[in-house]
Protein backbone atom coordinates (compact mmCIF):
# COMPACT_ATOMS: atom_id res chain seq x y z
CA UNK A 1 0.00 0.00 0.00
CA UNK A 2 1.52 3.38 -1.00
CA UNK A 3 2.61 5.51 1.96
CA UNK A 4 0.38 8.40 2.93
CA UNK A 5 1.85 11.83 2.36
CA UNK A 6 0.92 15.22 3.75
CA UNK A 7 0.93 18.29 1.55
CA UNK A 8 0.19 21.92 2.22
CA UNK A 9 -3.19 23.18 1.10
CA UNK A 10 -1.70 25.97 -0.99
CA UNK A 11 0.58 23.50 -2.81
CA UNK A 12 -2.36 21.23 -3.61
CA UNK A 13 -4.42 24.15 -4.94
CA UNK A 14 -1.51 25.24 -7.11
CA UNK A 15 -1.19 21.73 -8.55
CA UNK A 16 -4.92 21.70 -9.32
CA UNK A 17 -4.72 25.07 -11.09
CA UNK A 18 -1.77 23.96 -13.19
CA UNK A 19 -3.51 20.72 -14.08
CA UNK A 20 -6.64 22.60 -15.14
CA UNK A 21 -4.56 24.78 -17.46
CA UNK A 22 -2.82 21.72 -18.85
CA UNK A 23 -6.07 20.08 -19.83
CA UNK A 24 -7.41 23.26 -21.41
CA UNK A 25 -10.91 22.54 -20.16
CA UNK A 26 -12.82 20.16 -17.94
CA UNK A 27 -15.01 17.29 -19.06
CA UNK A 28 -17.64 15.13 -17.47
CA UNK A 29 -18.90 11.60 -17.97
CA UNK A 30 -22.60 11.15 -17.10
CA UNK A 31 -22.43 7.37 -16.68
CA UNK A 32 -21.27 5.78 -13.43
CA UNK A 33 -17.61 4.72 -13.62
CA UNK A 34 -15.27 2.53 -11.63
CA UNK A 35 -11.48 2.44 -11.42
CA UNK A 36 -8.88 0.75 -9.26
CA UNK A 37 -5.94 2.85 -8.07
CA UNK A 38 -2.98 0.74 -7.05
CA UNK A 39 -0.87 -1.98 -8.55
CA UNK A 40 -3.47 -3.66 -10.70
CA UNK A 41 -5.62 -1.04 -12.38
CA UNK A 42 -4.07 2.39 -12.90
CA UNK A 43 -5.73 4.25 -15.75
CA UNK A 44 -4.62 7.48 -17.40
CA UNK A 45 -3.86 10.69 -15.55
CA UNK A 46 -2.51 14.18 -16.24
CA UNK A 47 0.50 12.66 -18.01
CA UNK A 48 -1.69 10.61 -20.38
CA UNK A 49 -1.03 11.50 -24.04
CA UNK A 50 -3.23 14.27 -25.43
CA UNK A 51 -3.87 15.60 -28.90
CA UNK A 52 -3.42 19.32 -29.60
CA UNK A 53 -6.37 20.96 -31.37
CA UNK A 54 -5.03 24.51 -31.28
CA UNK A 55 -2.49 24.21 -34.09
CA UNK A 56 -2.80 25.47 -37.63
CA UNK A 57 -4.64 23.32 -40.13
CA UNK A 58 -7.26 22.05 -37.67
CA UNK A 59 -10.70 22.35 -39.25
CA UNK A 60 -13.82 22.82 -37.11
CA UNK A 61 -17.02 20.97 -37.98
CA UNK A 62 -20.20 21.95 -36.12
CA UNK A 63 -22.38 18.88 -36.13
CA UNK A 64 -25.99 18.85 -37.28
CA UNK A 65 -28.09 15.79 -38.23
CA UNK A 66 -27.74 15.02 -41.93
CA UNK A 67 -24.70 17.29 -42.34
CA UNK A 68 -21.83 15.36 -43.93
CA UNK A 69 -18.22 16.13 -43.09
CA UNK A 70 -17.08 15.31 -46.63
CA UNK A 71 -19.44 17.89 -48.12
CA UNK A 72 -18.98 20.62 -45.51
CA UNK A 73 -15.16 20.62 -45.58
CA UNK A 74 -12.52 20.37 -48.28
CA UNK A 75 -10.82 17.27 -46.95
CA UNK A 76 -7.14 16.47 -47.43
CA UNK A 77 -5.16 13.45 -46.29
CA UNK A 78 -3.67 14.00 -42.85
CA UNK A 79 -6.08 16.81 -41.95
CA UNK A 80 -7.26 16.95 -38.33
CA UNK A 81 -10.93 17.79 -37.77
CA UNK A 82 -12.44 19.06 -34.53
CA UNK A 83 -16.07 17.91 -34.46
CA UNK A 84 -18.31 19.74 -31.98
CA UNK A 85 -21.56 17.96 -31.10
CA UNK A 86 -24.08 19.73 -28.87
CA UNK A 87 -25.68 17.67 -26.12
CA UNK A 88 -29.15 17.87 -27.67
CA UNK A 89 -27.95 15.63 -30.51
CA UNK A 90 -26.45 12.96 -28.21
CA UNK A 91 -29.63 10.94 -27.73
CA UNK A 92 -30.82 7.57 -28.94
CA UNK A 93 -33.35 9.38 -31.16
CA UNK A 94 -30.56 10.81 -33.31
CA UNK A 95 -31.34 10.08 -36.96
CA UNK A 96 -27.76 9.05 -37.66
CA UNK A 97 -28.10 6.27 -35.09
CA UNK A 98 -31.66 5.22 -35.93
CA UNK A 99 -30.88 5.01 -39.65
CA UNK A 100 -27.37 3.57 -39.10
CA UNK A 101 -25.74 6.27 -41.20
CA UNK A 102 -22.27 4.89 -40.57
CA UNK A 103 -20.09 2.94 -42.99
CA UNK A 104 -16.98 1.06 -41.88
CA UNK A 105 -15.18 -0.21 -38.78
CA UNK A 106 -12.33 1.79 -37.16
CA UNK A 107 -11.99 3.54 -40.52
CA UNK A 108 -15.23 5.25 -41.60
CA UNK A 109 -16.39 7.00 -44.76
CA UNK A 110 -16.48 10.80 -44.83
CA UNK A 111 -20.25 10.51 -45.31
CA UNK A 112 -20.74 8.77 -41.93
CA UNK A 113 -22.64 10.47 -39.12
CA UNK A 114 -20.30 11.73 -36.36
CA UNK A 115 -22.60 10.66 -33.48
CA UNK A 116 -22.94 7.18 -34.97
CA UNK A 117 -19.13 7.01 -35.24
CA UNK A 118 -18.79 8.06 -31.59
CA UNK A 119 -21.24 5.36 -30.52
CA UNK A 120 -19.65 2.61 -32.63
CA UNK A 121 -16.14 3.38 -31.36
CA UNK A 122 -17.35 3.45 -27.75
CA UNK A 123 -16.49 7.11 -27.20
CA UNK A 124 -20.02 7.88 -26.02
CA UNK A 125 -23.21 5.92 -25.33
CA UNK A 126 -26.35 7.90 -26.29
CA UNK A 127 -29.18 8.11 -23.77
CA UNK A 128 -32.92 8.73 -24.07
CA UNK A 129 -32.57 12.30 -22.75
CA UNK A 130 -29.85 14.83 -23.62
CA UNK A 131 -26.87 14.65 -21.21
CA UNK A 132 -26.20 17.41 -18.70
CA UNK A 133 -22.87 18.49 -20.18
CA UNK A 134 -22.69 21.00 -23.05
CA UNK A 135 -20.93 19.23 -25.90
CA UNK A 136 -18.90 16.27 -27.08
CA UNK A 137 -15.64 17.06 -28.89
CA UNK A 138 -14.30 14.50 -31.37
CA UNK A 139 -10.92 14.64 -33.07
CA UNK A 140 -11.04 12.92 -36.47
CA UNK A 141 -8.05 12.33 -38.76
CA UNK A 142 -8.51 12.17 -42.53
CA UNK A 143 -6.96 9.08 -44.12
CA UNK A 144 -6.66 7.93 -47.74
CA UNK A 145 -9.54 6.23 -49.50
CA UNK A 146 -9.91 2.58 -48.51
CA UNK A 147 -10.54 -0.40 -50.82
CA UNK A 148 -13.55 -1.25 -48.69
CA UNK A 149 -15.29 -0.32 -45.45
CA UNK A 150 -16.51 -3.53 -43.76
CA UNK A 151 -19.48 -3.51 -41.39
CA UNK A 152 -19.40 -4.60 -37.75
CA UNK A 153 -21.62 -4.54 -34.66
CA UNK A 154 -20.16 -2.74 -31.62
CA UNK A 155 -21.55 -0.91 -28.62
CA UNK A 156 -25.19 -1.30 -29.62
CA UNK A 157 -24.96 -0.22 -33.26
CA UNK A 158 -24.21 -2.12 -36.46
CA UNK A 159 -22.52 -0.14 -39.20
CA UNK A 160 -22.97 -0.63 -42.94
CA UNK A 161 -20.43 -1.86 -45.48
CA UNK A 162 -19.42 -0.18 -48.72
CA UNK A 163 -16.71 -0.79 -51.30
CA UNK A 164 -14.15 1.80 -52.32
CA UNK A 165 -15.59 2.05 -55.83
CA UNK A 166 -19.05 2.77 -54.41
CA UNK A 167 -17.82 5.42 -52.00
CA UNK A 168 -14.93 7.12 -53.77
CA UNK A 169 -14.15 9.56 -50.94
CA UNK A 170 -11.61 9.73 -48.13
CA UNK A 171 -11.87 7.96 -44.78
CA UNK A 172 -11.99 9.13 -41.16
CA UNK A 173 -10.54 7.73 -37.94
CA UNK A 174 -11.20 8.81 -34.35
CA UNK A 175 -8.01 10.02 -32.66
CA UNK A 176 -9.30 11.70 -29.51
CA UNK A 177 -12.32 12.97 -27.60
CA UNK A 178 -13.41 15.13 -24.67
CA UNK A 179 -16.59 16.33 -22.96
CA UNK A 180 -17.18 20.05 -22.33
CA UNK A 181 -19.42 20.91 -19.38
CA UNK A 182 -20.17 24.46 -20.53
CA UNK A 183 -19.88 26.65 -23.62
CA UNK A 184 -16.87 28.37 -22.02
CA UNK A 185 -15.19 25.01 -21.48
CA UNK A 186 -15.75 24.17 -25.14
CA UNK A 187 -14.20 27.47 -26.22
CA UNK A 188 -11.18 27.00 -23.93
CA UNK A 189 -10.59 23.34 -24.72
CA UNK A 190 -7.43 23.02 -26.79
CA UNK A 191 -6.40 19.41 -26.20
CA UNK A 192 -8.25 16.11 -26.03
CA UNK A 193 -7.29 12.72 -24.67
CA UNK A 194 -5.56 10.64 -27.31
CA UNK A 195 -7.58 7.55 -28.15
CA UNK A 196 -5.68 4.23 -27.83
CA UNK A 197 -4.92 2.39 -31.05
CA UNK A 198 -6.72 -0.85 -31.79
CA UNK A 199 -3.88 -3.17 -30.65
CA UNK A 200 -3.80 -1.44 -27.24
CA UNK A 201 -7.53 -1.96 -26.86
CA UNK A 202 -7.09 -5.64 -27.61
CA UNK A 203 -4.35 -5.94 -25.00
CA UNK A 204 -6.78 -4.65 -22.36
CA UNK A 205 -9.52 -7.01 -23.46
CA UNK A 206 -7.05 -9.88 -23.40
CA UNK A 207 -7.02 -9.62 -19.60
CA UNK A 208 -9.69 -12.02 -18.34
CA UNK A 209 -10.50 -9.72 -15.43
CA UNK A 210 -11.26 -6.85 -17.82
CA UNK A 211 -12.85 -8.85 -20.62
CA UNK A 212 -16.07 -6.82 -20.50
CA UNK A 213 -14.49 -3.49 -19.53
CA UNK A 214 -15.13 -0.25 -21.39
CA UNK A 215 -13.21 2.98 -21.00
CA UNK A 216 -15.09 6.15 -20.05
CA UNK A 217 -14.08 9.49 -18.48
CA UNK A 218 -14.25 10.12 -14.75
CA UNK A 219 -15.37 13.36 -13.09
CA UNK A 220 -11.73 14.50 -13.06
CA UNK A 221 -11.68 13.99 -16.86
CA UNK A 222 -9.41 10.94 -16.75
CA UNK A 223 -9.91 7.47 -18.28
CA UNK A 224 -11.66 4.96 -16.03
CA UNK A 225 -13.37 1.60 -16.40
CA UNK A 226 -17.14 1.72 -16.80
CA UNK A 227 -18.80 -0.19 -13.98
CA UNK A 228 -19.23 -3.86 -14.72
CA UNK A 229 -19.98 -6.77 -12.42
CA UNK A 230 -17.14 -8.72 -14.05
CA UNK A 231 -14.66 -6.17 -12.64
CA UNK A 232 -15.77 -6.14 -9.00
CA UNK A 233 -17.29 -9.61 -8.51
CA UNK A 234 -15.37 -12.44 -6.82
CA UNK A 235 -13.88 -15.02 -9.17
CA UNK A 236 -14.00 -18.31 -7.29
CA UNK A 237 -12.36 -20.66 -6.52
CA UNK A 238 -9.05 -18.75 -6.78
CA UNK A 239 -8.88 -16.61 -3.63
CA UNK A 240 -6.47 -14.20 -5.32
CA UNK A 241 -9.34 -13.09 -7.55
CA UNK A 242 -11.67 -12.26 -4.67
CA UNK A 243 -12.41 -8.57 -4.33
CA UNK A 244 -11.71 -8.62 -0.59
CA UNK A 245 -8.23 -10.02 -1.27
CA UNK A 246 -7.45 -7.59 -4.10
CA UNK A 247 -8.45 -4.68 -1.87
CA UNK A 248 -5.49 -5.47 0.39
CA UNK A 249 -3.17 -4.14 -2.31
CA UNK A 250 -5.55 -1.93 -4.32
CA UNK A 251 -8.21 0.70 -3.68
CA UNK A 252 -11.52 0.83 -5.50
CA UNK A 253 -13.04 4.16 -6.57
CA UNK A 254 -16.62 4.28 -7.83
CA UNK A 255 -18.52 7.23 -9.28
CA UNK A 256 -22.29 7.38 -9.04
CA UNK A 257 -24.97 8.88 -11.26
CA UNK A 258 -25.51 11.68 -8.72
CA UNK A 259 -21.92 12.89 -9.20
CA UNK A 260 -20.27 11.34 -6.14
CA UNK A 261 -16.98 9.44 -5.88
CA UNK A 262 -16.80 6.68 -3.29
CA UNK A 263 -13.60 5.06 -1.99
CA UNK A 264 -13.52 1.46 -0.78
CA UNK A 265 -10.23 0.49 0.84
CA UNK A 266 -8.67 -2.01 3.22
CA UNK A 267 -8.35 -0.74 6.78
CA UNK A 268 -5.27 -1.83 8.67
CA UNK A 269 -5.55 -3.03 12.23
CA UNK A 270 -8.33 -5.56 11.77
CA UNK A 271 -8.03 -9.19 12.77
CA UNK A 272 -6.61 -11.55 10.17
CA UNK A 273 -9.78 -13.65 10.04
CA UNK A 274 -12.02 -10.58 10.12
CA UNK A 275 -10.53 -7.87 7.87
CA UNK A 276 -12.09 -4.42 7.95
CA UNK A 277 -12.77 -2.11 5.04
CA UNK A 278 -13.45 1.61 4.86
CA UNK A 279 -16.22 3.11 2.73
CA UNK A 280 -15.87 6.89 2.39
CA UNK A 281 -16.72 9.73 0.04
CA UNK A 282 -14.24 11.95 -1.81
CA UNK A 283 -15.58 15.51 -1.25
CA UNK A 284 -13.92 17.10 -4.31
CA UNK A 285 -13.79 14.44 -7.04
CA UNK A 286 -13.24 16.88 -9.92
CA UNK A 287 -10.02 18.30 -8.45
CA UNK A 288 -8.85 15.02 -6.89
CA UNK A 289 -7.17 13.67 -10.00
CA UNK A 290 -4.35 11.16 -10.28
CA UNK A 291 -1.66 13.76 -9.58
CA UNK A 292 -3.36 14.89 -6.38
CA UNK A 293 -3.89 11.29 -5.27
CA UNK A 294 -0.23 10.46 -5.83
CA UNK A 295 0.75 13.38 -3.60
CA UNK A 296 -1.73 12.49 -0.86
CA UNK A 297 -1.29 8.73 -1.01
CA UNK A 298 -3.71 5.91 -1.80
CA UNK A 299 -5.95 5.19 0.06
CA UNK A 300 -6.60 8.88 0.70
CA UNK A 301 -5.97 10.24 4.22
CA UNK A 302 -9.05 10.46 6.45
CA UNK A 303 -8.73 14.26 6.43
CA UNK A 304 -9.50 14.27 2.69
CA UNK A 305 -12.56 12.02 2.97
CA UNK A 306 -16.05 12.37 4.38
CA UNK A 307 -18.67 9.90 5.53
CA UNK A 308 -21.05 8.44 2.97
CA UNK A 309 -24.52 9.95 3.32
| pLDDT per residue as tens digits for the range 12-40 | 444 444 444 443 443 443 343 333 333 33
Task: List the domain boundaries for the chain.
Answer: 9-48+197-304, 55-189
Question: Mean pLDDT score of the chain, rounded to an integer?
Answer: 78
Q: In which band, very low, low, confident or very high, does the pLDDT at 233 lie, cut at 50, 70 and 90?
A: confident
- pLDDT exceeds 50 at position 205: no
Q: What is the per-residue pLDDT for 13?
A: 43
Cα distances from 46 to residues 19, 121, 233, 247, 293, in angstroms, run: 7, 23, 29, 24, 11
Q: What is the per-residue pLDDT for 9?
A: 40
Q: What is the per-residue pLDDT for 283?
A: 93
Q: Answer with the residue of higher pLDDT: 305 or 272.
A: 305
Q: Answer with the residue of higher pLDDT: 303 or 45.
A: 303
Q: Which CATH number fits domain 55-189: 2.60.40.4070, 2.170.130.20, 2.40.30.200, 3.90.550.10?
A: 2.170.130.20
Mean pLDDT of 176-199: 80
| Least confident among 100-114, 124-138, 180-194, 204-218 | 204-218
Q: What is the per-residue pLDDT for 67?
A: 94
| Least confident among 28-42, 63-77, 256-270 | 28-42
Contact 193, 176 (CB under 8 A): yes
- pLDDT exceeds 70 at position 91: yes
Q: What is the per-residue pLDDT for 14?
A: 43
Q: Answer with the residue of higher pLDDT: 64 or 18.
A: 64
Amino acid sequence: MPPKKKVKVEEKEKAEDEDGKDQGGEGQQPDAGASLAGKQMVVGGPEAPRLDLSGEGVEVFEYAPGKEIGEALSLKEGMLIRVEVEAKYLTSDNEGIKQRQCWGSDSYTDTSDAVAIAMHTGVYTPTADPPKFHALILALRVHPAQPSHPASARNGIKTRSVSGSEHGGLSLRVEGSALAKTADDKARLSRVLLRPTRPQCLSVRGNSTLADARIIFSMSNEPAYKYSLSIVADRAPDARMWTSVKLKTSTLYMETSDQRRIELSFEEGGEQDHPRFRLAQVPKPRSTDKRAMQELGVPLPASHLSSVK
